[in-house]
Amino acid sequence: MKIKVFAIDGTEKNEIELSDNVFCREVSMGSIYHAIKNELANRRVGTACVKTRGEVQGTSQKMYRQKGTGRARAGTKRSPLRVGGGIVFGPRPRSFNYKIPKKLKHLAIKSILSLKMKENRIRIIEDFDIENGKTKELITLLHNHVDAKNTVMILKDDNNRIKRAGRNIPWVKMLTFNKLNAHDLFYGLNLIIHESAAMELNNVYSG
């Protein structure tokens, strides 16, 4: 498929050829679901922790004698039935990380790119640089292409000047073509892709 490339001022520049297998394939919502679920699970810290009856402070001495008081028999004050006692089956530190197949991850990325292309939410622009790293200059450039809504910009490499310029823009997320994540791509309303990054995506995911 052919897609237009725009100059930084918003005018049409030329066209490039992209693979239908990457930008115009059948969308697999199942792969997108599993990829996003995996990313969110891997972000979890898993440090929630409560104390069991063996860890809370307090004596293990029997509270009162077994018989003759007229009350229900009771053991230690650390019982889960008592105020200040231990917690039964509470959360313990654990890892939520798990892996999904690489092919499934790639299918999810291609499905999201194809979905955004069908929704006309992808805009490919010529490669540019922000020499002074100023946020104002980047905002002016972005307004030539998209509204001030949730936008994901895909770069060819880790350009520190562009990333520094975009740090103070709350509605812009910077990604590089080889470090994409399904969550940000799927929930981004607009995708701005550098021309060279689009060609790299075409090469990496067309297989």
- pLDDT > 70: percent of the chain: 100
pTM summary value: 0.84
Pair 177, 191: CB distance under 8 Å: no
Q: Distance between CA 162 and CA 193 in Å, rounded?
A: 13
Look at residue 176 and tell me if it is in a domain.
yes
E strand spans, the chain: 2-6, 12-17, 122-125, 151-155, 172-176, 190-194
Q: Tell whether 79 is covered by a domain.
A: no
Q: Is position 175 within any domain?
A: yes
Domain presence at residue 75:
no
Q: Is the pLDDT of residue 32 over 90?
A: yes
On the question of pLDDT at 75 being above 70, the answer is: yes
Cβ pair 2, 185 in contact under 8 A: no
Here the CATH number for the domain that contains residue 184 is 3.40.1370.10
Q: State pLDDT tens for residues 177-186.
A: 999 999 999 9
Residue 48 has a pLDDT of: 96
Domain count for the chain, please give it: 1
In a domain, 163, yes or no: yes
Structural domain boundaries enclosing 160: 2-28+101-205
User: In the prediction, which pLDDT does 172 show?
Assistant: 92
Q: What is the pLDDT of residue 207?
A: 66
Asked, for residue 142, whether it belongs to a domain, the answer is yes
Q: Which pLDDT score is estimated for 86?
A: 95
pLDDT value at position 174? 93
Question: Is the residue at 134 inside a domain?
Answer: yes
The yes-or-no verdict on residue 102 having pLDDT over 90 is yes
Which helix (DSSP H) or strand (DSSP E) does residue 179 occupy?
none
Q: Does 169 fall in a domain?
A: yes
**Most trustworthy range by pLDDT among 9-23, 67-81, 148-162:** 67-81
pLDDT at 156 over 80: yes
* pLDDT tens track for 161-173: 898 988 889 999 9
Q: Is 90 exceeded by the pLDDT of residue 147?
A: no
